[in-house]
Amino acid sequence: MDKKRLAVFIDYENIFIGMKNQFLAIPDPARIVSLLTEDFKKRGEIVIGKAYAGWEDFPGLQAEFKKMAIDPMYVLTKHKKTGDDGYVDVRFRKNSADIALSLDAQDILRTRSDIDNFIFVTGDRDFLEIISRCKQHGKTIVIYGVGYTVSQDLQRAADEVVKIETLFGLSPIRKPLPGTNKPNSPEFDWMPFIITLEQLESSLPFVGLKYFRDKILNPGIGSGEDMASKMQLITEAISQEIVKIEKIPNKEGLPYPVTAIKLNRDHPSVKGCINLIVDTSRDSGEKHLDKQQIRLYTFFAHSVSCGQ
């Protein structure tokens, strides 16, 4: 069977910001390039490859793309830090990549009938129109994007969607139900996580996201000791709307706010856990849980379900 001929278009800043915001850090950019191109080549031959970014923000990365036969295309960009933890607010990201990429893809669609598959590395809904045109011409569309940053409309339009984090071996954090081997089970015990954050919120003006991630999360609360596991747990809590991310004015007079993590107290699981704290402490008239109680809650994690 002849190898499929691929046209690859990479909105690199979209991926960079997605990894940074969803996982609160990013892997080595050169490794992103390497793993992406390795995965592309499993699908066929890269006939056309282009990556778009303001490369002054990524020194040395153009050379990495060139090694993989991907042409780095310069576009004007502007983005703004909005937190002391480096969180990038995509609302402030102004990028001409969507225009340049769409025009190039349209040109390839018009002039290269030999291309079988169009691969778009982005999560941006702005590419929906060019993807629709490619589909009208009978092309197979594959989207590579970061977790929950990939537009739902984009996912529906594509023939296949690949989550980039899986290329790094970042497996879902949802744990299997007792007695099953389903790694993607929707059941995950959030009790230690919720109780810990509730106690912090009760004693602090706000809980800094970076502080909670670096100083508080541990295996007893549901994450591993490694940063990737902690980031996965927080990302899952955000996606399930168990927590909210908010911006708090910086009390040190700095121009950017602090990123805070906050329980969504309207969520059924959060309500269930907080009610359990109240019920457990009703005899003493106090809401506080000491460290021993939290350890006991953690121990019984697989036998108690919040929100039920």
Question: For 45-103, how does the pLDDT look when each residue is reduced to its tens digit (9 = 90+)?
Answer: 999 999 999 888 788 899 999 998 899 999 876 554 444 444 444 433 445 778 899 99
Q: Domain check: are 230 and 162 in the same one?
A: no
178 assigned to some structural domain? no
pLDDT at 11: 93
Task: Assign 137 a pLDDT band (cuts: 50, 70, 90).
Answer: very high
Domain that holds residue 257: 191-299
Q: Domain check: are 230 and 119 in the same one?
A: no
Of the residues 116, 137, 168, which one is the last residue of a structural domain? Answer: 168
306 assigned to some structural domain? no
Q: Domain check: are 196 and 125 in the same one?
A: no
184 assigned to some structural domain? no
Q: Domain check: are 101 and 218 in the same one?
A: no
More confident residue, 178 or 255: 255
Total H helices, total E strands in the chain: 11, 10
183 assigned to some structural domain? no
pLDDT at 10: 96
Q: Domain check: are 128 and 162 in the same one?
A: yes
Q: Mean pLDDT for the chain?
A: 76
Q: Of 164-173, 200-209, 251-260, 273-282, where does the model show the most confidence?
A: 200-209
283 assigned to some structural domain? yes
174 assigned to some structural domain? no
Q: Domain check: are 246 and 199 in the same one?
A: yes
More confident residue, 229 or 53: 53
The domain total for the chain is 2
| Phi and psi at residue 184, to the nearest 5° | -105, 20
Q: Of 5-19, 53-67, 114-128, 157-171, where does the model show the most confidence?
A: 114-128
More confident residue, 51 or 304: 51
Helices (H), the chain: 12-23, 29-43, 61-67, 97-111, 128-136, 152-157, 191-203, 209-211, 227-239, 268-280, 291-299
Choice among 3-7, 38-42, 147-151 with the minimum mean pLDDT: 147-151
0.95 exceeded by the pTM? Answer: no
Of the residues 136, 168, 200, which one is the last residue of a structural domain? Answer: 168
176 assigned to some structural domain? no
Q: Domain check: are 149 and 265 in the same one?
A: no
pLDDT at 170: 57
246 assigned to some structural domain? yes
Q: Domain check: are 232 and 120 in the same one?
A: no
Q: Strands 94-95 and 77-78: what pairing? A: antiparallel
Q: Domain check: are 48 and 196 in the same one?
A: no
